[in-house]
Amino acid sequence: MRIRATVAAVSGALALSALVGPAAQAADSHRDRPADAPQFGYSAQDRPAAPKARAMGITAAEANTAPTISKAVVNGGKPIVVGTKATKKVTISITASDDSGIADAATILWIGSSLENPDDNTFWFDQNEDTATCKAASATTSTCTLTVTVDPAWLINSDATYWKVGALAIAKDGDFVQKDAYTKIRVQRLSKLDVNASPEPVKKNGTLTVTGKLSRANWETGTYKGYAGQSVKLQFRKKNSNTYTTVKTVKGSSTGTLKTTVKASVDGYWRWSFAGTASTPAVNATGDFVDVK
């Protein structure tokens, strides 16, 4: 994980530098990371101050009208869904305006109470790029794009919540505006769902047993664990149809296991469908085709 956040430096021409400091997590739960995750190595007491973008070479008295941020779009407006192993690169686009034009932008994805005065639970992923890619819509307005990489090796399960998104815009005349929590985006634990319908084939109007399991990423163990007690729909579509219809709703067991029986009358596909929760995205199992004899 990158543990630096962007510091904006403007003096005539734009220059960006980075303030390097460990993203310490003093809480016991945050120390229980996967074995392959690097150690933070610092306590909350000796950690440098949290990253804070600042202008250099221009005082408040000298400042012109600050730029304005009109929009920040994170991951196309969709929740950030993270599994157990693969990192997730997230695009963040910041739209800003200034009478001199926009030179650059910066961003940070974080949770906690404050970047200015971080507590033990303040945690962040900073941007990948040294500078943003900015596209001008006019002489005064540009949309600047950056990416942030979310690494599940650094996440704990309680991190499946809303994260704050910091946005910084820097004008060509050296002014800047910074919003530590301009917007927010939900981070979710990737879900999986499987299905099996048997026997195959089945006699017409015979009893079909449909099983499956709903699981989701456990960031603390790096594995997928059953999602207990969730209501999941059993759905069916006929062989030559494109539409699934809900047959019944089943509540999963303490291990996420699903099981029910139905009568099979025509050929078709059976699947489980989960609507999702705040921490876990919706997911559909791949339909299991059953031939009715």
pLDDT at 167: 95
Tokens 């494109």, residue located: 242
Question: Does 124 have pLDDT greater than 60?
Answer: yes
Q: What CATH number does residue 115 fall under? A: 2.60.40.10
Same domain, 201 and 161: no
- Of 101, 59, 83, nearest to 219 by C-alpha is 83
What predicted TM-score, i.e. pTM, was given to this entire model?
Answer: 0.80
Please write the tens of the pLDDT for every residue from 62-89.
Answer: 446 899 999 999 999 999 999 999 999 9
**Nearby residues of 278 by Cβ (< 8 Å), 6 or more positions away:** 160, 161, 186, 188
With beta carbons less than 8 A apart as the criterion, state whether 234 and 247 touch: yes
Q: What is the rounded average pLDDT for all residues in the chain? A: 82
Same domain, 121 and 176: yes
pLDDT at 121: 86
Same domain, 101 and 242: no
Which burial class, exposed, middle or buried, applies to 77 when counting CB atoms under 10 A from its CB (0-12, 13-18, 19+)? exposed
Same domain, 153 and 57: yes
**Which among 155, 189, 223 is the end of a domain?**
189
pLDDT at 144: 98
**Which among 129, 163, 189 is the end of a domain?**
189
Average pLDDT, stretch 203-225?
98
**Which among 174, 189, 204 is the end of a domain?**
189
pLDDT at 117: 82
Number of domains in the chain: 2
pLDDT at 170: 95
Same domain, 182 and 196: no
For 183, the domain range is 4-189
Q: What CATH number does residue 277 fall under? A: 2.60.40.730
Please write the tens of the pLDDT for every residue from 233-270.
Answer: 999 999 999 999 999 999 999 999 999 999 999 999 99
Same domain, 168 and 257: no
